[in-house]
Chains A and B, each alone.
Chain A
Amino acid sequence: MKLGVLALQGGIVEHVHMLRRAAERLGVSAEVIEVRKPSHVEGLRALVIPGGESTAMYRLGKRTGVAEPLREAILEGLPTLGTCAGAALLAKEVEDRQSGRKYEPLLAVADFKVVRNYFGRQRESFEAELEVKGIGKFRGVFIRAPVIVPRSDSVAVLSEYKGEPVMVKQGNVIATAFHPELTSNTKIHEMLIEMAR
């Protein structure tokens, strides 16, 4: 099974590591590739969009032309996990909490709004015990993290922190405000691979 990590910028190798380990745990034989050109999208069974700076990834996604085929593949049902800035790339609506400035979405495939830097700056970055539906306890690592607010009933909230949605799922798309790849817990990556099986 061919799994991809969007490799424009950000925490790429961390996700490659987690996908390999998750596949091993599930007994799935998987090849993990880095996706940075339109030709890399073909044959993918699941995709991770890592965290990074969403403005940087937006520019690179447009310039490389990788955004268009990815958008089509996700709309056709490609199981996709977006973490932090990755969630912002999937969202139909993106804004910054402090300035209120709106950002053009890159892929615009999911009915949620991502509010960037919701929990503050790096000084306020934190880790916290979360409860994730279908998984249980999960150590959430939040780095200048956003919240992910559903815009329709078809978006299920899988986890909340202090009443704010930090993990959601809509059909084939999962989005987290936190970074599972900074822990040793592969459950969320396993969830993604299960969707591809």
Chain B
Amino acid sequence: MMLSQRDRLVEVGFDAIVTFFYKLAEAADKLKEEGLWTYLPDPSETLREVATGTLRVKLGFPVYQKGGVIMDVTNTEQAGIAEDAGAVAVMVLDKLPYDIRKAGGVARMADVNVIKEVMNSISLPVMAKVRIGHFVEAKVLEALGVDMIDESEVLTPADEKHHINKWQFKVPFVNGARNLGEALRRISEGASMIRTKGEAGTGNVAEAVRHMKTVMRELKELTAMPEEDRVLKAREMGVSYELVELAVRLRRLPVVNFAAGGIATPADAALMMWLGADGVFVGSGIFKSEDPRQRAEAIVLATSLWSEPEAVLEAQSMISERKSMMGIDIRTLKPEELLQVRGE
């Protein structure tokens, strides 16, 4: 299936989405002047001769990650393997999600010296995770110059109630979501990209599938609803009615939407693409396997060419199931061990 047959963005265009947010902001301008509303972009940035960190630049960055694989790495050696395999970006962590699970304790932002080393060692974009609500970790990463910040449930949340106001940053953010409400709330807070939460570090794709299907199903349901029900639904989700209408018009999330959490094989990656993901994050799946080089390359191939079964077959034959990460059955996890429930 061709992307342009299933993606309404083909008819609507990227510019319409950027314009939407600016228009919304202009309407709220009066409130902003009074300091009552900062949760929107600054429309005056479109008038400046030269401007960095604009909405167009922040929403534009993930567009070039689409159809690609973003790989979790913990050091420069793994980053090099990711680059050679054809990753579109790397995500630097202190420990892979699987090891975070085993280690327990508090998981925080990675060592900034390691992030810097990785930034200097490869030409790909470098991302890093901050704890949910940890404004200062995010400011540190922005000062360091990482290309995207993941406000992630994989780390221990710093704020049980609030997420970061991401409109206040020049660097774009990606956030996890399990359903449409979570995704739209994160977009309202300024996220430039969404990913499914899945259940990180398990090697089990089932939760990512559930989350991607939930978002898609809820979008379909909204489209079929009469307008007054959509108003109600927007209120339930805690987002503006305008944003709901934009999603309905697009029949997709208005920002780039990746799959993440439990992807371990090329077929897993292709499955997520088939379900409507724009690309995939692979965490423990690569460097917790026994064949990281081949597996990284195979997952890149399957993600780009998911619609060609012979290419996915080729990718799948590049790896051995005996070398896949062992994986954890989610049903054996205790409720407090689930990462996906953090930060709604």
Measuring CB to CB, which residues of chain A are less than 8 angstroms from any residue of chain B? 7-14, 16-18, 20-21, 32-34, 36-37, 51-53, 55-56, 58-60, 63-64, 84-85, 96, 98-99, 101, 116-117, 121-129, 141-144, 179, 181-184
Asked whether B159 is an interface residue with its Cβ less than 8 Å from the other chain, the reply is no
A58 to chain B minimum Cβ distance, whole angstroms, is: 8
Q: Are the C-beta atoms of A122 and B171 separated by less than 8 Å?
A: yes
Instruction: Pick the residue among A13, A53, A58 that contacts B68 (CB under 8 A).
Output: A53
Q: In the complex, which residue of chain A has the Cβ closest to the Cβ of B88? A: A53
Among B50-58, B110-118, B320-328, the stretch that binds chain A is: B50-58
Q: Are the C-beta atoms of B10 and A20 separated by less than 8 Å?
A: yes
A55 to chain B minimum Cβ distance, whole angstroms, is: 6
Chain B residues near A121 (CB, 8 Å)? 119, 125, 145, 147
Q: In the complex, which residue of chain A has the Cβ closest to the Cβ of B6? A: A13
Chain A residues near B13 (CB, 8 Å)? 14, 17-18, 21, 184
Task: Apart from A58-B86, A122-B57, list 20 A-B contacts with CB within 8 A.
Answer: A8-B67, A9-B68, A9-B304, A10-B63, A14-B9, A36-B304, A53-B65, A55-B83, A55-B86, A56-B304, A59-B85, A59-B300, A99-B120, A101-B123, A123-B145, A125-B52, A125-B60, A126-B52, A127-B56, A129-B49
Closest 3 CB pairs of A and B: A59-B86, A122-B147, A9-B67
B254 to chain A minimum Cβ distance, whole angstroms, is: 13
Bound Cα distance A51, B305 (Å): 17
Chain A residues near B83 (CB, 8 Å)? 55
Bound Cα distance A182, B192 (Å): 14
Q: Are the C-beta atoms of A183 and B123 separated by less than 8 Å?
A: no
Asked whether B251 is an interface residue with its Cβ less than 8 Å from the other chain, the reply is no
Chain A residues near B125 (CB, 8 Å)? 53, 121-122, 144
A22 to chain B minimum Cβ distance, whole angstroms, is: 12
